[in-house]
Amino acid sequence: MTYENLNIQQEDGILILTISREKALNALNGRTMDELAYFFGEAAPQMDDLKGIIITGAGEKAFVAGADIKEFLALDAAAGAEMAQKGQDVFFLIERFPKPVIAAVNGFALGGGCELAMACHMRVAGEKARFGQPEVNLGIIPGYGGTQRLIQHIGKGKAMELLMTADMLNAEDAHRLGLANHVVPAGEEVAKAKEIIAKVAQKAPVAIAKIVECVNAYYDGLKDGFAYEVKEFGATTGTEDFKEGAAAFIERRPANFQGK
């Protein structure tokens, strides 16, 4: 696929994916969602040496200012539900990706943009970041998982308030509430995210993938997270990486994990 709205750069084994529709504050139009679906569904899973992915927005003003409102006028109940389902499917690909995916939130993360950031495994907020779900201003509700993931990140009462008032959280408040993992000076979001991914890359890749699965299992109504952890703990003890990790500890040397 040729990407029109995603700019993808590789630095030190880390992919930096920039949503690039700066004039529209990087709003997620249909084409951009198709490109994200292809990237996370087809392209990225085949990249063997990948350490992780950072998602950010082009320019200094916005991470992503939401779904593209200019495409909304053609929607009816059926088309709206289809759009929401498709968006949720794409964001599940991100949430379930077996390597760390970090949102480097450089500005407005609103509506679908906040939902995109929340689907990532972690969020690094620049000082100018603003998080919010302003859909009620438009007479709609979040459709890309916002009503579910905002509760997961900041709790029910505060989520209710943000969803009902359309208020925005600044970076410090997002950090205080647990939505942002770190706050950094503007322009340093990607560097901080790279630092985290580099740290994760030193760990056993199979164990990292299992962490993603087990943490997500907690929120999956069809899975018993504790039982899932038992099964996956068992699976990790059968890996070569576990033998290497344990041997390295006993021999007092750094582990050399192979991802097997």
Instruction: Please identify every residue annotated as catalytic.
Output: 115, 135
Residue among 108, 131, 228, 257 that touches ligand CAA (CB under 6 A): 108
When asked if residue 66 is in the footprint of ligand CAA (CB under 6 A), the reply is: yes
Q: Who contacts 234 (Cβ-Cβ below 8 Å, separation ≥6)? A: none
When asked if residue 87 is in the footprint of ligand CAA (CB under 6 A), the reply is: yes
When asked if residue 134 is in the footprint of ligand CAA (CB under 6 A), the reply is: yes
CB of 99 or CB of 149, closer to ligand CAA: 149
When asked if residue 144 is in the footprint of ligand CAA (CB under 6 A), the reply is: yes
> Cα(118)–Cα(107) distance, rounded to whole angstroms?
15
Residue range at the interface with ligand CAA (CB under 6 A); choices 20-28, 90-98, 120-128, 196-204: 20-28
When asked if residue 70 is in the footprint of ligand CAA (CB under 6 A), the reply is: yes
Residue among 100, 142, 205, 245 that touches ligand CAA (CB under 6 A): 142
Residue range at the interface with ligand CAA (CB under 6 A); choices 121-129, 142-150, 169-177, 229-237: 142-150
Other C-beta atoms closer than 10 Å to the C-beta of 118 total 26
Residue among 14, 104, 110, 179 that touches ligand CAA (CB under 6 A): 110
When asked if residue 100 is in the footprint of ligand CAA (CB under 6 A), the reply is: no
CB of 21 or CB of 51, closer to ligand CAA: 21
Closest CA to 201 of 142, 254, 146, 252: 254
Beta bridge partners of 169: 131
Q: Who contacts 124 (Cβ-Cβ below 8 Å, separation ≥6)? A: 102, 103, 104, 105, 180, 181, 182, 183, 184, 189, 192, 193, 196
CB of 35 or CB of 213, closer to ligand CAA: 35
Residue range at the interface with ligand CAA (CB under 6 A); choices 136-144, 185-193, 196-204, 247-255: 136-144
The binding site for ligand CAA (CB under 6 A) comprises 24-25, 27, 65-70, 87, 108, 110-112, 115, 134-135, 138, 142-144, 146
